Amino acid sequence: MSLREQLYRQAGEALPQRIARANGSATAAYQQLAKEIHQTIIERVELGKLQQMAPEQVKRELAQLVEHILEEGNHPVNEAERRSLVLDVQDEMLGYGPLEPLLADPTVSDILVNTAKHVYVERNGKLELTEVTFLDNAHLMRVIEKMVSRVGRRIDESSPMVDARLPDGSRVNAIIPPSAIDGPLLSIRRFAVKPLTVQDLIERQTLTQQMTHLLEAMVKAKLNILISGGTGSGKTTLLNILSGFIPADERIVTIEDAAELQMRQNHVLRLETRPPNIEGRGEITQRALVKNALRMRPDRIILGEVRGGEALDMLHAMNTGHEGSLATIHANTPRDALTRLENMVSMAGLSLPTKTMRQQITSALTVVVQVSRLTDGSRKLMSVQEITGMEGETINMQEIFTFKRKDVDRDGRIKGHFCATGVRPKFSERLQAFGIRLPESLYDPTVQHEV
C-alpha cells in the first residue's frame, strides 16, 4: 500500500471513495468552501513554523484548524464532507491539491492536465476524462511551481517549459503561457512503486518466455543493445527489465534527464542532467555526463534516452571497451532508429562522412529491440534485430524474433502471434564464449505464441 493510500485510510475514508469524490462528486459550493478554508489557514498560520514540524504533526494541526474554522463559520457539512475537507486542505498545503487522489490511485499510469478544467488519466492503456478540476489556472500554476521547485527547477514566462520528477520518481513535464496558449499544461508519467518484472511482461503478453531467454543471454554476454520505440511504448520499462539481468558484481553508471531507472544492483552510480539557471549558466548536458562517466571506471553505461550529440560519445564508449551498454531512442522501426542515431551523431559538431558514421554504429551496436504501443493500448515487443555488418554504405540487419498482427476482435483487442524468424544470430558464438547455450529450438519459426 502506498503512502498516499495509508494517509487516506488513516483519515477514515477508503481510497476508492476518495477517488470517486475526485472523479466528480464535489460541487461548486464544496469547492468554494474548501478554497475559503484554505485561504483562512494561510492567513492565520505561520507557514515557517509548519515547515519545522514533522509531517504527521502538520496533518494533525491542519485537521484541528479545519474543524475549528467549520465550527466558527457554522457551516452545514455532514461527516463525510468534513473528513473530505480535512483531506483536501492537507493535500493543498502538503501535496499537489486536486491531483493527490489520482496520484494515490494505482490504476492510473498517466495524468494529463489540459488547463485547469480538463484532467485526463490513462488506465489500462486508454485515456479517459475525469471530473477533477482546479479552481482556475492560477491554482494549477501554484501546483506546477510546487512540483518543479522541490527538485530545484523553475518555470516562469522567461523559461516556460520544464522537465522534473516527483519524490516517488514520476516524470513531470509542464509548459505554461506564453508557449501554452490556453493555459498551463501538465503531464505526469507515473512511476511504478513496484517495478514490473519479466514475468509481469509475459503475463501481459508483451513478449514470450523464449524471447526473455534471448534478451537475458544478450545482456549477460555484454552485447550493446539499443531499445527503440515511440512515446509510451514501454522503452524505460524494458530498459529496467534488461538492466536487472546485469550481474550484481559489475559497476553501473546510469545517465538520465530525469532519474527513472529502478536498478536492483548495489553498485550503481546515478547521474542526472541539469538545466541552466536563471542567468543561463550551470547547465549539465547528457553529453557532459557521458564523457564524465568514462572516467568513472564503469563496467556498464546505461543511457536513459539518446537525444542529441551524446550519441557520438556513447558510440565511442561502446567501441572502446565499455561493452554491454544499454540505451533507448525514439523511433518507430529499428531501421528508423539507426537513421535517427546518424542524425544525432551529426549534432555532435563533427562532419563525418556517412559511411564512417555507419561504420561507427555497426561496430558499436549489436542488437536493436523495437517496442510499440498498439491501438488497443497494449505494449508489444515487436522485433529483435541483429546488426550484422555493412554492404557498401548500407547497414545490414537480420530479424530474430517478431510479432505479427493478424486481426482485431470485437472488443478492439489486437490479435496476432510472436514467433522466431528461423535465423540463428551471428552473436551465438559470443554467447557460447560466455558459457551461455541456448537450445536451437529457440529459433524454430514453426513455434507460434498466439495472443
Same domain, 307 and 422: yes
Instruction: Kindly tell me if the per-residue pLDDT of 32 is higher than 90.
Output: no
Which whole number is the average pLDDT over 206-230?
A: 95
Domain boundaries, position 153: 107-192
Instruction: Kindly tell me if the per-residue pLDDT of 72 is higher than 60.
Output: yes
Same domain, 218 and 335: yes
Report if residue 310 sits inside a domain.
Answer: yes
Q: Lowest-pLDDT range, 44-48, 249-253, 274-278?
A: 44-48
Q: How many Cβ atoms sit within 10 Å of the Cβ of residue 220?
A: 16
Residues 437 and 429: their CA atoms lie apart, in Å, by 9
Same domain, 204 and 161: no
Same domain, 411 and 349: yes
Q: How confident is the model at residue 368 (pLDDT cuts 50, 70, 90)?
A: very high
Instruction: Kindly tell me if the per-residue pLDDT of 393 is higher than 50.
Output: yes
Read off φ and ψ for residue 86, nearest 5 degrees. Answer: -60, -45
Same domain, 71 and 114: no
Q: How confident is the model at residue 361 (pLDDT cuts 50, 70, 90)?
A: very high
92: left (phi over 0), alpha (psi -120 to 50) or beta: alpha
Beta strands 300-303 and 326-330 are parallel
Q: How confident is the model at residue 44 (pLDDT cuts 50, 70, 90)?
A: low
Same domain, 343 and 421: yes
Which whole number is the average pLDDT over 194-206?
A: 87
- Whichever domain contains 176, its CATH number is 3.30.450.90
Residues 421 and 409: their CA atoms lie apart, in Å, by 25
Tell me, what's the pLDDT at 46? 61
Q: Which parts of 283-366 fold into alpha helices (H)?
A: 286-293, 310-319, 334-346, 354-364
Of 45, 60, 92, the position where a domain reaches its end is 92
Same domain, 416 and 372: yes
- Angle (CA) 408-414-420 rounded to 5° is 120
Instruction: Kindly tell me if the per-residue pLDDT of 253 is higher than 60.
Output: yes
Instruction: Kindly tell me if the per-residue pLDDT of 123 is higher than 80.
Output: yes
Which whole number is the average pLDDT over 114-127?
A: 89
Tell me, what's the pLDDT at 16? 45
Same domain, 244 and 376: yes
If you search the block for the grid coordinates 527547477, which residue do you land on?
A: 153
Residues 445 and 270: their CA atoms lie apart, in Å, by 40
Same domain, 218 and 300: yes
The residues pairing with 252 across neighbouring beta strands, listed in sequence order, are 268, 300
Residues 447 and 450: their CA atoms lie apart, in Å, by 10
Report if residue 97 sits inside a domain.
Answer: no
Same domain, 83 and 141: no
The residues pairing with 269 across neighbouring beta strands, listed in sequence order, are 253
Same domain, 8 and 136: no
Of 150, 174, 192, the position where a domain reaches its end is 192
pLDDT in tens, 395-436: 999 999 999 999 888 888 899 999 999 999 999 999 999 999
Of 158, 192, 226, the position where a domain reaches its end is 192
Q: How confident is the model at residue 13 (pLDDT cuts 50, 70, 90)?
A: very low
Instruction: Kindly tell me if the per-residue pLDDT of 22 is higher than 50.
Output: no
pLDDT in tens, 306-348: 888 888 888 888 888 788 999 999 999 999 999 999 999 888 8
Which positions ≥6 away from 337 have C-beta within 8 Å? 226, 228, 329, 331, 368, 370
Arithmetic mean of pLDDT over the chain: 83
Tell me, what's the pLDDT at 48? 56
Which whole number is the average pLDDT over 274-303?
A: 85
Same domain, 78 and 207: no
Total structural domains in the chain? 3
Report if residue 100 sits inside a domain.
Answer: no
Instruction: Kindly tell me if the per-residue pLDDT of 360 is higher than 80.
Output: yes
- Whichever domain contains 299, its CATH number is 3.40.50.300
Report if residue 154 sits inside a domain.
Answer: yes
